[in-house]
Structure 1
Amino acid sequence: MNLFERLYDEQEDVKVQFIGFTTESARYDFGIVYTNMFFGKPLVVCMQTGRSTLLCAEEAENWEHVKKVFQIKCDNEAQDLSLFFEQKLPTMSFESQY
């Protein structure tokens, strides 16, 4: 009996960028995986906590989403992190996602 239905099993060479920086009250270390999977959205991984999300620049504008995903306690820190991602991540049109 087959318990799992395979949805995809892809392999690709990807670009990964590691970025570490500090703010007034925190240190951040992220890995950003640029892939063709997931509609081309980068996979953003917090190297300190292991939390990750698919994120493009437009989605990063929503600092409350960034705060929730990476469990940031301070609104100002989340806003700063959101601004960083807006500048760093590629933009994605809605049409290219769906």
Structure 2
Amino acid sequence: MEQYERLYDDTERVNVRFIGMTTELARYDFSIMYTNSFFGKPLITCMQTGRSFLMCANDAEDVEHIQQLLHLSDEKEAISISDFFKEILPLTSMEPQYTD
């Protein structure tokens, strides 16, 4: 039997926003979970692919990262999604979440 140490087990009521958008090439449906965890960054899930990631408006500036997260081959597509996220996501300062 394997031994493990439970790091956390929290229950939290969260706000979830469901939002859809289209680009010239595709439709996207996202769920955005706002929580007190993850340095204050929302947890975003793409409903088409099931891919989840943490992102704030500052992170949305990185178009190449968005391309990688969503497995997009078209840079113009990633720019459209970047613009969308920059508009709807909050700016997040990197406050330390884990302390000694």
Gaps of 5+ in 1: none
Question: Which secondary structure does the structure 2 equivalent of 1:79 belong to?
Answer: helix
TM-score (norm 1): 0.92
Same amino acid, percent of matched pairs: 54
5+ residue gaps, structure 2: none
1:56-78 per-position Cα deviation (integer Å, ceiling 9, x unaligned): 11011001001100111100000
Structure with the higher fraction of residues in helix conformation? 1
3-state SS of 1:50 partner: coil
**Paired residue for 1:7?**
7
What is the TM-score when the length of structure 2 is the normalising length? 0.91
The RMSD of aligned alpha carbons is 1.3
Residues 52 and 87 (structure 1 numbering): CA distance in 2 closer, same or farther, change over 3 Å? Answer: same
* Matched residues, number: 97
1:31 aligned counterpart, secondary structure: strand
